[in-house]
Structure 1
């Protein structure tokens, strides 16, 4: 579907709807994997890019003159490509020489393209690219894992545990017993004010008798699946929360 210069309002709204639905599907995959940009971010980026394209194509029809005023809608698309780089750059960072956030930044960049295409009336190409996105992030990841092309894998692991119970020693031992190398770790105490991890599901009910909670962030590397590590750490009764924050999935 390609809209002409005199497209009806309902066709424009249909394009904007596609610019919400398709990016939301991309954001859902990021959300499920606990990435920094999820459904809301992707939906807003796609819808905003689509609206820019709609304004560029149809917003100046009252001032156009065949001999005096000529507009180039492609100029807006070029500016979207440039502007979306600021969001993508904010999602990429380096920790201990490991570049992280590239996949999420790439998904934001692709979402802007999907939204721009939908806003321009190219709904079928936008849908095709959305499907291709899932092919790349889901199927390719499984192929790489099966062929072990990625070799040793890096993980950032956050664990919340009760202080004074020897849990940190147990956590480190469980990691090394599975073949993971500890690249580094840092700890910070938590209170019951709802800040930090407490706001993500650790609360008074999870820490009976007012036990002090500590969060440790570990940077580990190894070949074992992270699901195996998660299962191993879950057997420790002093651990209250476990989460991964990496770009391996």
Structure 2
């Protein structure tokens, strides 16, 4: 969801304005704030306490509802598991997060501006999970459980599965350390996990947790290769 098209908004005088892209006299890309407020967004009441967010800037996904509708139409009964970085609405629309919710990556390096390396860098936006759950529900996808990647993987018996893998496939301590980054709370382990369900009654999250034996017998951690970000990793 972080790679979906997004609009950039900025709050001025308690009104929502869109940040547009234009050209300066030298032909360089520059940001320009729209003169008129985005009344269609204000009427949706997506953002509360507008007056207290003077100067706030952040992304607003424009395709999330379409995505939820598409997923729901393809699923008659079952589950949807999303893993992404983001937060709840209260934190998302706060001055602490202003100007910090859009990230750009050029050759896996965090860049400072989406106006640089145009067409050659990734642009991603953090997900407003409160808004996501609301749109999902409108499309008959009900939230079953909200957690983070660390806790979810531990519920799936990550440590036991890793121990099974290290007995055979993994021979490098460095590889094991890299796999463990999946559960680092300040890193990948902090990614949000949202589990949705459709068409099921009487189901709860605990029903999805396997036994330790099942996890050890059936789950495998893919080996790290040169295609991963840890390129150049050599086995010992």
Normalising by the smaller structure, the TM-score range is under 0.3
Looking at secondary structure, tell me which structure has more strand per residue: 2
Looking at secondary structure, tell me which structure has more helix per residue: 1
TM-score (norm 1): 0.22
Larger radius of gyration: 1
